[in-house]
Structure 1
Amino acid sequence: MKRTWLITGVSSGFGYEMAKQLLASGNKVIGTVRDLSKVDDLISKYPDEFDARMLDVRDVSAIKSLVKQYDHIDVLVNNAGYGLFGAAEELSTQEINDIIATNLTGSIEMARAVLPVMRSQKSGRIIQISSYGGQVAFPGNSLYHATKWGIEGFTESLAKEVSSFNIGVTIVEPGGARTEFRYGSAHVANLMPEYDDSDTHAFLKMLNPDNGLAIGDPVKMVTRIIESVEVTPAPLRLVLGSQALENTILTLEERIADFKTQTQVAKSTDFPEGE
């Protein structure tokens, strides 16, 4: 089925691959970028189907202005975002504000802008690109995890709010993939030598492709995301990558086991029964 997709951040990675696959199969794509030259090939190859737009998702007024230009959007893919690596102490206030505005607030405002369109047409699908880092936390990634855990909470609540309007919502949790996210666009803080001998700087090895590439195939991952739109009801979560799923299940099992040890402490804070 041909649809109109609004995808943020199509200049590279999942966004670019998704736009390429969708356009090749005859869909219309409204793709946002911060540099139009990054998608010159798609603009020239698909002049009628590809609507490339300049957008910085940190600009809420620009988000609202963009969405108001369209009276029909079948699928929103909140894809724009980046990784920020470094201990909490190593990050600058500007780095913190920028990643929250991009990864968290930008996605929230984009969803809020699109909802009136989808409600009026009585259908729609919102796909939020998160990460298995929205469930599992590693040292040296505190602010990235903060944005992903935050957007997952927002999106899960949103899914319950809009289901009666025939709007489906899916959180995508990919594992490591061979994209620019890891091997090109990752931001690294001004590192402190005090953390050099701890696990906090272990990410430096991961970011170096000489130490081995991620097992995730971005082409296959994007194909699975596109296919999920055909599934009804919409899956709330879509984990991509065997390592991501294994680590997520292990982490959740450990978390549940820890919660179960707290039964008596939790109960001890209740009023006595009948009072």
Structure 2
Amino acid sequence: MSNWFITGISSGLGRALAETLLARGDRVFGTVRAIERVADLRAHYPDRLHLATLDLRATEAVRAVVDDAFAVLGSIDAVVNNAGYGLFGAAESLTLEQIKDQLATNLLAPIEVARAALPHLRQQGSGRLIAISSYGGQATHGGASLYHASKWGLEGFFDALAQEVAPFGIGVTIVEPGAARTGFRAAASAALGVDLDAYRQTPIGQLRDILKDPARTPGGDPQRMATAIIESASDETAPLRLVLGSDAQSILDRALSARLEQVRAQVETASRTDAVAA
């Protein structure tokens, strides 16, 4: 039996993770914004599911919840930063409040969860920090600038953190899923930025159409993704970045290959700014 801490278990991938873990006999400490949304899980697993109400936009509340999770479970094998959402639309169409909420939920809260968990994990001498990113943490689409800002920031933080905590026996996994059959798109389409006329014939207009098209069914299975994440958590040779979904694989391959090609094309010109030896 293992112990897991997971943010955002009321729906989507977080829900799939919690269900899979509980069904196999593990213990889960999960956070939700509304307890009633997981009433069925609570009734079915009263002894192995522990809950805390947490709005991740309230960053200052995170540490107490994490500390409580370790107090309740004793030790934790995996800390999963799962909760998050997509904010899409032209950058100039978004309100400052929308921008702050996006960064607080998708970036600042995971950073604080990790910071709060690390003293406990160091004392244990083991554990894994798991950050649910997206292929959008390394590839971009017009119309998703703030979402990408949150995920690129998330990946930069956890990539560096992996190097910091490896000496303590703590592992880090950055999960990069493709589109999955969750409520992500529906939630994103309901929270778009203002529809500015100037952008309707641009890629942003196309993105809005995709999000609102019910016929576009994502290919990713959240249950299979959850199983892959759980299996990787105990694998000492697990990759730093866990790619889930054929769409994520192909998009990341194209994006990273193009970036590497651009860098290599400047191998001669880059050195022109080096200081001349005296």
TM-score bracket, normalised by the shorter chain, equals over 0.9
Q: What's the counterpart of residue 251 of structure 1? A: 255
TM value normalised by structure 2 = 0.95
Deviation at 1:185, TM superposition (A): 5.2
Measure, in 1, the Cα distance between the counterparts of 2:212 and 2:91. Answer: 22
In structure 2, the residue matched to 1:207 is 211
Superposed, 1:229-240 pairs within 5 Å as 229-240=233-244
SS at match of 2:214: helix
Once the 2 structures are TM-superposed, how far is the Cα of residue 63 of structure 1 from its aligned partner? 1.2
CA displacement, residues 12-34 of structure 1 (integer Å, 9 cap, x when unaligned) = 00001110000000000000000
Which residue is 2:12 aligned to? 13
Q: How does 1:14-29 map to 2 (within 5 A)?
A: 14-29=13-28
What corresponds to 1:183 in structure 2? 186
Letter in 1 for 2:208: L
Q: Deviations over 1:97-126 (max 9, x none)?
A: 110000000000000000011000100001
- Counterparts of 1:210 and 1:270, CA distance in 2: 54
- Paired residue total: 273
User: Is 1:140 aligned to 2:155, yes or no?
Assistant: no
Percent identity reads: 47
Residue 269 (structure 2) pairs with residue 265 (structure 1):
yes
Is the 8 Å Cα contact of residues 178 and 220 (structure 2) preserved in structure 1? yes
1:200-230 deviation digits (Å, cap 9, x = unpaired): 1222232234332011111111111111012
Q: Is the CA contact (8 Å cut-off) linking 2:87 and 2:188 kept in structure 1?
A: no
* One-letter amino acid of the counterpart of residue 61, structure 2: A
Cα distance change, pair 180–107 in 1 and its aligned pair in 2 (3 A): same
Take 1:197 and 1:60, find their aligned partners in 2: how far apart are those partners? 38
Q: Flag structure 2 segments of 5+ consecutive residues without an equivalent.
A: none
Matches within 5 A, 1:61-80: 61-69=60-68, 70=70, 71-80=74-83
Q: Distance in 2 between matches of 1:74 and 1:117?
A: 11
Alignment of 1:91-110 (within 5 A): 91-110=94-113
1:5–1:77 Cα contact (<8 Å) kept:
yes
CA distance in 1: counterparts of 2:176 and 2:207, whole angstroms:
19
Q: 2-side partners of 1:184 and 1:200: how far apart?
A: 17
Whichever residue aligns with residue 16 of structure 1, its letter is R
Unaligned runs of 5+ in 1: none
Match of 1:156 in 2: 159
SS of 1:68's equivalent in the other structure is helix
